[in-house]
Structure formats: structure tokens, C-alpha cells
Structure 1
Amino acid sequence: MLEAVSHDRQDAANESSDTAARQAYTVDQALASAGKRYRERSRAAASKARNGTALVIALLLSGFAWSFWRTQRARLLAEGSAAAHRQLAAENAKNALTDPLTGLANRRALLRDLEGVVAGDGDLTVLVLFDLDGFKLYNDTFGHPAGDALLARLGGRLDAATAGRGVAYRLGGDEFCLLAQVSDEADALTLASTAQVALTESGPGFAIGSSYGAALLPAEAASVTEALTLVDTRLYLQKGNGRVPASQQAADVLVTVLNERDSELGRHSHTVASLAGRVATAYELPSVEVKRIRLAAEVHDIGKAAIPDAILTKTEPLDDVERDFLRRHPLIAERVAMAAPALAPTAELLRGHQEHYDGTGYPDSLTADQIPMGARIIAACHAFDLLTHDHPGPGRSVGAALAHLRREAGTRFDPGVVERLAEVVGNQHGFVRLADPADLIDPTQPTR
């Protein structure tokens, strides 16, 4: 019995031990499983952490790369735009100085280049102005497109013929120009002839040639306007087609104005111009200077258009106020000439024609050689004509007038000019007698 009890107790004890073992195992398994899950979650968490940092770095690198690309692209676009603007500006500047039909330099370029030539003391330079002969008939016969094509061909030939020597220009219409450095006058003529040959073309029903006028710079012109006026005048002297130069047209207009104001002023202007031209020729001055003096003499009284008749026609001596008013007329004449480019070369002669050889004249009190030669010639011819015609007082003989001029030679007038004038009028009128003292005019009064 006791054994049975003992066995029962043993069985109960074994059963409890098994239960405890199973419970311990279960706990161990649960702990092992929890540890495994913890380690797995730890590894996952670590992996996520590592992946997150890489993602952040990747995003930062991507953002930097995008920003760098955008910056570089903007820089390249800006540089390209600036280059395009520079190229466009350069093209615009070139186009502003280029004739679109021929590709030659244009009038604006010529004026710019001439400024440097006339203002400097550099190498001798020839300016040649060309005008085509027969172009109008060609244009009318074959049409404007054919005329434009002809101008383009001739422009190309002119450029090729003068390459390396100078610059060829098209000024508009059928006018071309050449500006080139030369060694002397003979070299200038050779170059001008070469260019003239280039501006020729002939074919069935047409023949195109050219005429030209040339000037050596800076020796023959002190300004751009004077240079262009000079070659224009020489061009149409050579052309001989009856076209009157712009300078003469302007002078004719002004003389007509004077003549309408007072017919005597018109007559006086023509007479003084004729005398001055002959005296200048007697000095053997260059033909262009003779023409300039004659032109100035023709309009020397234009300033009197602004002087009241009461002063111009007054027979009594002028008072101080009237005298000062009259003495404005050389300055007025100068302003009129400067307002008309074709007359601008005459301006200094118009201003100086009332100066006296001894410095007592007006408006600048110049003396002797300070007074331009042309102005000295005009002054003597002006006084001579007033002395020999009935304006404003009784006319005097040629001899009396010359005697008066000789008395004032060295004071009012250039002695050399007086003698050249005497030669000119002596040859025209024959023997001239000396004057009586009564023939002399009051030297204190300005000549009117």
C-alpha cells in the first residue's frame, strides 16, 4: 500500500517535473523567438537607417547636379546671347557704313574718313569724285533692275582696280568716289585714270563711261565741305554737260536777291566778280582758287540785304551808329555762306573783304598777309567799281579811281593787288590819266 502510495507520489512528481520542463521550454522558445525578432527588427532598422542616409545623400547630390547644370546652361546661354548681340552690333555698324547695292563704303563712311584726312598732317591723299556718263539713258532703256546690276558690276570693278591703294565708295545714284594715299600729283592722276577705266562698260545699244574731279588733301582743302565742293566743281568742269555746280546755283540765287533789292547791287556784284577773277588770274593762282575768289566776289555784298536802305542810300556821311550797323554786313555774309555748304569755302573771304592792309579795317582788324589774298583782291575791286560808277556819288574816271587806290596802297589796300588791278583795267581801257585831288573820296567812311 505504502508502495502504491509511493508510486502514485512518484508519478505525480514526474508529471509535475515534465510540466515544469515543458513550461521552461516554452519560455525558452518564447525568449529565443523574441530575441530573433528583435535582432531581425534591429537589422531591418539599421538597414532602413543606412538606406535613408544614402537616399538623403543621393537627393543632395542630385540637387547639386541639377543646380550646376542649370547654372552652366544659363552661363552658356548668356555667353551665346552676348556673342550674338556683339555680332549683330558689328553687322549693324558695318551696314551703316556700307552701300547695300555694291558693298562699297557709303557716303557716311567717306565723311568719317575725310575728317581724319583734312584734319591731319599725314601722307598726301587724293580724293576723286566720279559721275557716270550715259547711265540715265541706260536706266531708261533697260530698266531700273538692269541699272542696279550695272552699278553693282562697276562698283566691283572699281574696288578691284584700287584694292591695296585706297578705299572705293558709292555715294548714291551714279556717283562713286575714291580716297587713296599717293606719292605725288602724277601718281594721283595715274590712279584716277585707272579707276576711270574700271567705271566703263559697253554693249549693244549702250556705252557707259565716267567723268571725275580730283583734289590733293590736305593741301587743297581745309575742311570736308571744302574738299567735296572742290572735287564737285572740277568734276562738272570736266564733264562739260552744261550742269551748273551747286555753288554757282547758290550764288545766282543770292545775286538775284540783291538785284531785286537794288539793281545797282546786282550790277556791282557781277562787275566785282569779273574784275576779281581777272586779277586772281594775273597772279597766276590755281584755277580752283580763281573760281573761289570770283564766287566770293559775286556774293560779297549779300550781307547788305540786312542793312536798311536809309543807310545804304544815304549821301551824307554816316554817323557812328549807322557806321557800326553797316560794318555788320561782312559777318552777315559769312553766316549766309556757312549756311549753304556749296558756298562755305567763300566764307573767310566774305568776312575779310572789308579789312585794311594796315589793320584799321573790320571786323577783325587783320593786317597785310593776315588778310586772305582773295579778300584783298575783292576789297580793291569793290572800291574801284564804287569809284567808277554813280553809286552812291558821282562817277569818277578809271584814272582817278586808280590814283585813289594807289594813294591808299599800304594803308587800306595791298600795294601788289592795286598794281595788278591797274594792269588789268589798263589793258582793258588803254591809257588812264592821274586823278585830281577833288576825285578822292573820304577815307574815314566805309565803302558802301
Structure 2
Amino acid sequence: MSKKVYIRTFGCQMNQADTEIITALLLDEGYAMAGSEDEADLIVLNTCAVRENAVEKILNQLDQLRAKKRRRPELLVGVIGCVPQYFREKLFAMAEGIDFLAGPDTYRELPGMIVRASQGRRPADFTHSIHETYAEIEPARPSGTGAFVPVMRGCNNMCAFCVVPFTRGRERSRPLRSVLDDVSRLASSGCREITLLGQNVNSYHDALNDCRFPELLEQVGLAAPDLRVRFTTSHPKDISPDLVRVIATTDNICNSIHLPVQSGSSRILSMMNRGHTREEYLDKIRMIRDAIPGVTLSTDLIAGFCGETLDDHRQTISLMEEVRFDFAYMFHYSVRPGTPAAKSLDDDVAKEEKKRRLAEIIELQNRISAECHAADIGSVVEVLVESESKRSSDMLMGRTKTNRVVVFGRKGSEPGDLVKVRILSATSATLLGEQA
């Protein structure tokens, strides 16, 4: 009988894509996928270290798994991804019951590590590889309307607050041909939407073909004209007029851009080592909106970074009011040991003040999002159906090309359909409507 593995994924879309690669590798080794942890012979936690609470989630999960291992001593538990890469072997001492550890570039070694773990040897591998992209592995993707397509790994930016360069290593890009072959397979399999992934997709460079991200995006759009194409994430300092032109002129590339700003203060942006000023960011926003009418923009924001004054915070508030982001990921700053900020800057904003500033940012963003969504009331939008609504099987959920979530009555439609929906009402998170 095949042994069963259950993989629990934490964090970003790149981690979800990595789980699909890991699944393919383990299926090739004869494993079957378990429906739950209780059915599994092997439990793998694929982890994220970007936020402090993300690490706490992993440690809490491991604490809960201790009871399972006491009842079933033969159960193996592995922790892979960014958390073990960040903490390395000391993670063994931080949580009981871990049988092996693996970083993001070592997934090919998992079968051998699992064998050694079953022998009680507790292996760990944190090797970084400047060449590893897993390009030739066909991911074991779940069925659905959309799919992630990683195009590069790692990050060369050294933002002061960020652990990604340490956990995922240097940038390396997947060959153009590999990406296009993957897209072609997805198009023929019935997929309706793909998202190109990278820590900073703007840095994509297939040196052999001298292909940069604007050319890659254009070729993907032309190769699969019936698929919606999205991408994430862009760095403000690297987004270019060429990329914006491709989005504006290629019909199936969605007109929504995630452009993390983190702060509205040039002084704080400099301390963060972001590589651009407030004014330069706003110039990029104007360039995008001039070229792509109706584009929606989302962002990341950090409240209470080292040295942030009330004036710096107010500049973030004013930038939000000027840009009017459709959506934002919002956090208060937490120190990540080993990052440039942890080494050279004082975390001098009190936690309660961080929370107060974050609450103000969230309140403002909720108001702006509600106003942006309210502007769609009465319009008819095209929606790609993704799934049933979580609240009712009589309702469906999908997204517009501008990445707005729409919930509407079923009327015979199914996931994967493109439908016209008349918007009747809106909240800060969702558009509500009926099929037109």
C-alpha cells in the first residue's frame, strides 16, 4: 500500500506553487496524497518566514502535531521552505517532533531525506543554488480555473525589513521556453487564468534568449489568447514603460497591478532601502494610469517601521488618499533577526503606537476600497467564475479583469465560465450582482 503524505502550506502564492512541485516529486516516489493529517504517514509543513506571526503559526502547528506523534511514533513530520532556511538547525530545538528540515532549493533531495528521517537520523539541507528553478518538473496542480506559473526564484533586493534574500537566495530566472511550454499545457488542460510568479517579476531575465519580463509577458499573452494572464509581484523601482505598454496593448493581460510601496515617506523609504522616493513612486502611478485606463492598483503597507515619526505616518496616509489603492496588505513592523534593519536600526516605535497607526491605515483603506467598489454599482462587468460562494451554493464567486471579487446568483453557470454581471451593491471587499 502506498504511503500517504499531507502537505500544509503557509504564506504566499510562491509557497503554494512550491507545494505543487513538492507534490509532483513525492507522487513520482510512490506517495499518495492524504485527505487529512490523520490519514497521513508523512506530514510536511511548507512554511513562510516573512512575518513574525507566520513563524508563530508554524510553531503552534508543530505543538499540535506532538500529540499525533505520541499516538503514532512512526509518523514523520518535515518542515520545509523559508522558516527552516531562516532558523536552520536550531529549529529542531525550537519545536519537538521535527524529523527533517529542508530549504526552498533542496526539494529534489526530499525523497532521500525522508528515508534518512525514517531511520531516526533527522537530516537537514539548506543549500542555496543559483541554478535551481525546478523548470523541468511539471507541477501537480489541483483542478480549478486558475494556476500559478513561477517564472523566477529569489531576490537581489536587500530591503531592510525583508528576509526573502536570505531564505530564497539570489535571483534566477526560468527559461522562456519552459514557461511557454507550461502555459501551453495549462491552456490545453482547460485552465482559464494563469498568474506569473516571482519575488520581483520585473527582474526576470532569460540571458540565453536575452528575454526580459515585458517580452516574456507579451509572449505568454500571445501564446494563450484565451487565458487571462496576471503577474505578481512588481517592484516600483523596476516597473518600466515597456511593461506598461504590453499590459495596455495585450487584451488578455489583466489590468490590475500589485505595486508594494510600504511607506509614503521618502525618508522611511530610504531607510528601508527601497530604491525609490515617494515622488518617483507617484510618477510610476501616473505613468500606469495614463497608459491603462481603468487599471486597479494594490499595494503593501508597513506601519511603525524603525524611526517612523508621526509626520512619516501622515505621509503614508496622504499617499493612500492620493493614489486610492483598490486593495492593500497592511501590517505593523516586526523585527526579523538577521535583516539589515535588525542589525543597524532601532525598533523604536512602541508596539501600541504601531497598532494605532496600522488601525488608522486599515480604516482609511477600507473606506477607499468601499468608495472604489461603489463606483461600479450599475455597471456590467465580465467575471471569470472561480467557485461557489462560501456562504451559499446558490451563489458563485469570480473576479473581474481588474481583480475585483464579485458574488452573484448561479443561474446555470459553473466555475470556468465567463459571464456578464450587473453590479447591484458593494462592500469594501466585494461586488454583489446578478447575471446580466
TM-score, normalised via structure 2 length:
0.26
Bigger Rg, structure 1 or 2:
1
Higher share in strand: 2
The structure with the largest helix share of the pair is 1
